[in-house]
Amino acid sequence: MKKQDVDYTLYLVTDSRPEILRGRNICDVVEAALKGGVTCVQFRDKTSDTGELIRIARELHGITRRYNVPLLINDRVDVALAVGCEGCHVGQDDIKLEDARRLLGPDAIIGVSASTLEQAVEAYKGGADYLGIGAVYATPTKTNTKNILGPEGVRRVLKGLAGLRYSIPSVCIGGINTTNAQSVITESGGANFWLNGIAVVSVIMGADDPEQVANGLLELLGPVLPSK
Ligand code: TZP
Ligand code: MG
């Protein structure tokens, strides 16, 4: 898949914690979400050892490829390289974007987390392929978030980029669910500033029926996201 063809509308970030998986296999949950229409998958696992990460990522990649959806690895460029998946996602405290790019090469998809306009501009100038902007809302999934932006904060970042004529695909993340998905987009000005989609963890990974929730989110997003 070419990186300019990636669809960021409904971006699933995985969670392997037992309270989320509840005995289910992560691959089964991700496949159900793919059936429901998830457009991009990030494997995020903060606890498994490297060998285990590579084993799971390889299995996930076998599945995401069948759905023609990119698989990105959170934090771990080495795992992305070993598996040969489409790229990685790095936060502000992880490997630097330029180093990830040097390792993965020009065709890899590399996303960067940003919670301020300054971080977003730096990532844009450094050649990031997309931005994860957040956290929109406080969330039990990630408790060390420094900035809770609210939709207004996301809007500030998106508007700032647009004002500078810096165009880069963006998703927002943090506490997004079926109740607030539409308002997050409308209130952050997503339709005007070309927000591409939302990234979610628990609403899909923790759902009893991930396929149905993914499908429901896509239906909610259709009318409020700009058509591509
Ligand atoms: N980065 C900012 S918030 C977040 C990450 C990985 C977690 C979002 O999880 P959830 O369950 O969708 O609120
Ligand atoms: Mg990180």
CA separation for the pair 117, 29 (Å, rounded) = 34
Q: Whose CA is nearest to atom 13 of ligand 1?
A: 175
Q: Would you say the CB of residue 115 lies under 6 angstroms from ligand 1?
A: no
CA separation for the pair 50, 82 (Å, rounded) = 11
pLDDT band, residue 225 (cuts 50/70/90)? confident
Q: Ligand 1: distance of its center to the CA of 102 in Å?
A: 27
| Interface TM-score (ipTM) > 0.85 | yes
Q: Is 56 in contact with 78 (CB distance < 8 Å)? A: no
Q: For residue 186, which of 168, 200, 169, 172 has the smallest C-alpha distance?
A: 172
Residue 149 has pLDDT above 80, yes or no: yes
- Sequence-distant (≥ 6) Cβ neighbours of residue 118 within 8 angstroms: none
CA separation for the pair 104, 142 (Å, rounded) = 26
The predicted-structure confidence for 72-110, as pLDDT tens digits, reads as follows 999 999 999 999 999 999 999 999 999 999 999 999 999
The predicted-structure confidence for 180-200, as pLDDT tens digits, reads as follows 999 999 999 877 787 999 999
Q: Would you say the CB of residue 134 lies under 6 angstroms from ligand 1?
A: yes
Task: Identify any residues that bridge with 111 across adjacent strands, giving them in sequence order.
Answer: 89, 130
Q: With 0.90 as the threshold, say if the pTM is over it.
A: yes
Q: Ligand 1: distance of its center to the CA of 165 in Å?
A: 28
Q: Would you say the CB of residue 89 lies under 6 angstroms from ligand 1?
A: no
Q: Whose CA is nearest to atom 6 of ligand 1?
A: 142
Give the ligand with the smallest distance to the CA of 111.
2
Q: Ligand 2: distance of its center to the CA of 91 in Å?
A: 4
Q: Ligand 1: distance of its center to the CA of 137 in Å?
A: 9
CA 94 to chain centre: 16
Q: Is 37 in contact with 213 (CB distance < 8 Å)? A: no
Q: Would you say the CB of residue 145 lies under 6 angstroms from ligand 1?
A: yes
